[in-house]
Amino acid sequence: MLKNESGGDSNMDELTIVVPVKAAVPNITAVRLDPNTHNLVREGVPLMINPYDRNAVELALRIKDRFGGKVVTISMAPPNGKDFLESTIGMGVDEGILITDRVFAGADTLATSHAIAKSIAKLYPNFNLIIMGEETTDSTTAHMPAQVASWLEVPFVYYAIDAEPNIKDGTVRVSRYLEDEGLVEEFIYNMPIIMSVYRNSNPPRDISLNRKIMAKVNGLVKVLTNKELGLNPDCVGLKGSPTIVAKIEDAKPLPRKKQIFQGDPKEGAKWLLENLVKEEVIR
């Protein structure tokens, strides 16, 4: 077990867990790119909350069930992202924050992580834990958790499967799963920290329709624009995104020779290897 030396201005009265989610991910079976802007086309495409973020919400709720406190979801998304945040309240989350503004449009992971990190610092400066999904299904970069941790200058633990915070001494015991080794490691950190959740862990609970309706009726999702947040316009959206998609090409299918080997399997393996080597030499 390891313990980090970083301190933190975490709230020692009540555990506060913030879960950033991507609230409007295109269904991966319907993803299209705009040939001119090279951005994802979201209009007319079925949307859903990022599935791996629901694993993160579930871990946060399990921690709350055992240790108390409150869980907040936050998302940078178009206005329709409010419906998806209401679904997290349907799972058991206490409140949601939707950050939406045209100035945030076209952001890559760097600009998005900047907006999320600065918003959390402004709205929940005494957070104890930030729990995030491993990656998103529409980009699969897995950049966001580490980038948010970098902006906030707090430790980051990946592949987390469980956490046991101790509100009295301000520490948290984190378990993470190393898939290749089949091992579980444990670390002890001073809070606050950021974790990304191993995507095959913490299957999400069902959404309660009553709680989702309550979220809508009671306005439990707060909508904020950059007018309230006051983020530097040069650091968000397209202006704050150094990533440039210069060109898009459709992948062309490779021609196949359609050769078939019939005979002894051992000889077939040798024949296959020889042909693969020959093809590689030709290329």
60 band by pLDDT with thresholds 50, 70 and 90: very high
Average pLDDT for 214-231:
94
- Determine the pLDDT at residue 13: 75
The region of weakest confidence among 53-67, 96-110, 131-145 is 131-145
Enumerate domains of the chain plus CATH numbers: 2-235 (3.40.50.620)
> pLDDT-derived band of residue 40, with 50, 70 and 90 as boundaries?
low
pLDDT of residue 8: 43
SS3 of 160-226: EEEEEEECCCCEEEEEEEECCCCEEEEEEEECCEEEEECCCCCCCCCCCHHHHHHHHHCCCEEEECH
Q: Is the pTM of this model over 0.85?
A: no
Query: Per residue in 150-197, pLDDT tens?
Result: 999 999 999 999 999 999 999 999 999 998 888 999 999 999 999 999
Nearest to 126 by CA among 164, 72, 162, 80: 72
Of 26-30, 122-126, 185-189, give the lowest mean pLDDT range: 26-30
- DSSP element (H, E) containing 48: strand 47-48
Average pLDDT over residues 11-31: 78
Position 227 scores a pLDDT of: 94
